């Protein structure tokens, strides 16, 4: 009798017991995360995503404009991305879920490379906002499709966007400190678009291409009373007006992460 294949999931890494590695059902992948025993305690208050709430969130964020528009089922081919930060009472690393407008999970964004010292700094001080931060954008199969690194900074944030193999795609560069925030998309030294806040509080954003034409919109949505009252977690809806090609498509997908890290986290 043959044994059943091991289901996909996180399992202890054979080479490093302090890490878990993702098994895709057929083979081990390169994606890892710290084991629960190795992590400092983070009080997670959020359960599984509710598709009905995500559909309602998408409708609010787009005001119904994208209803009925069929996408391709991936992070790069859906007209609406619903980006929800996982709510934790004690947050020492960022984690986002990304869904389509019908509540289907498309992937997620995970902060990686957080040492115990960095987590302690984040818990006890505000100095964490000046340190280097690294994120991986993963698809629904937990495979890394993009990496985003924000090097250490003082006033303005800068983000390096690369493919999974670390080959460069472009940079997202904060252009100002005061007034309505602006971030530019720079590829091979040329500006190919950018993100523009609609007001000084930077709640909502317009994304434009190099010709100053709006191609997408980011709308912050309310995550509910518990999130608003007890956590720093934020929710966003990214509405993409037309199919985009790389490098612009990757920049737009990375921009929801950029908005949260550059503005909300730095405002601590």
Residue limits of CATH 2.40.160.200 in the chain: 43-267
The residues, any chain, with a CB within 8 Å of residue 159's CB and separated by 6 or more, are 148, 149, 150, 171, 172, 173, 254, 258, 261, 262
Tell me the fold of 43-267. Porin (2.40.160)
For residue 53, the model assigns a pLDDT of 86
As beta bridge partners, residue 108 has: 97, 138
For residue 79, the model assigns a pLDDT of 92
Query: Taken in order 9, 13, 14, 17, is the CA torsion positive or negative?
Result: negative
For residue 9, the model assigns a pLDDT of 74
| Alpha-carbon gap, residue 81 to 100, rounded angstroms | 5
The token pair that represents 69 in the structure block: 């528009």
For residue 88, the model assigns a pLDDT of 42
Can you give the pLDDT of all 268 residues of the chain as single tens digits? 455 567 777 777 777 766 778 887 788 887 777 665 444 434 443 456 778 888 888 888 888 776 667 788 999 999 999 888 765 433 444 677 889 999 899 988 887 875 555 555 455 555 456 578 888 899 988 889 999 998 887 678 889 999 999 999 999 999 988 888 899 999 999 999 999 988 766 678 999 999 999 999 998 876 543 343 333 446 889 999 989 999 999 998 888 777 766 665 554 4
Give backbone dihedrals phi and psi of 230, rounded to 5 degrees, phi first: -120, -5
Q: What is the largest CA-CA distance in the chain?
A: 69
């Amino acid at each position: 009798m043959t044994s059943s294949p091991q289901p996909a999931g996180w399992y202890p890494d054979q080479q490093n017991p302090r890490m878990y590695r993702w098994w895709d059902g057929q083979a081990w992948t390169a994606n890892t995360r710290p084991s629960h025993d190795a992590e400092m305690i983070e009080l997670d208050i959020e359960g599984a995503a509710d598709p009905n709430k995500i559909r309602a969130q998408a409708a609010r964020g787009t005001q119904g404009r994208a209803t009925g528009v069929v996408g391709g089922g991936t992070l790069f081919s859906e007209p609406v991305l619903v980006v929800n930060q996982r709510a934790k009472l004690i947050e020492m690393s960022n984690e986002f879920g990304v869904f389509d407008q019908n509540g289907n999970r498309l992937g997620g964004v995970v902060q990686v490379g957080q040492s115990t010292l960095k987590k302690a700094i984040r818990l006890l001080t505000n100095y964490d906002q000046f340190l280097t931060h690294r994120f991986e954008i993963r698809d629904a199969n937990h495979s890394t499709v993009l990496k985003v690194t924000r090097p250490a900074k003082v006033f303005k944030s800068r983000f390096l966007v690369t493919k999974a193999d670390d080959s460069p795609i472009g940079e997202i560069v904060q252009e100002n400190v005061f007034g309505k925030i602006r971030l530019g998309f720079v590829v091979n030294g040329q500006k190919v678009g950018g993100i523009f806040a609609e007001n000084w509080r930077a709640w909502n954003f317009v994304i434009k291409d190099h010709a100053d034409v709006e191609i997408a919109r980011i709308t912050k949505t309310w995550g509910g009373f518990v999130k608003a009252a007890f956590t720093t977690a934020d929710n966003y809806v990214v509405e993409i007006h037309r199919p985009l090609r790389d490098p612009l498509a990757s920049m737009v997908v990375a921009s929801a992460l950029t908005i949260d890290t550059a503005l909300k986290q730095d405002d601590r």
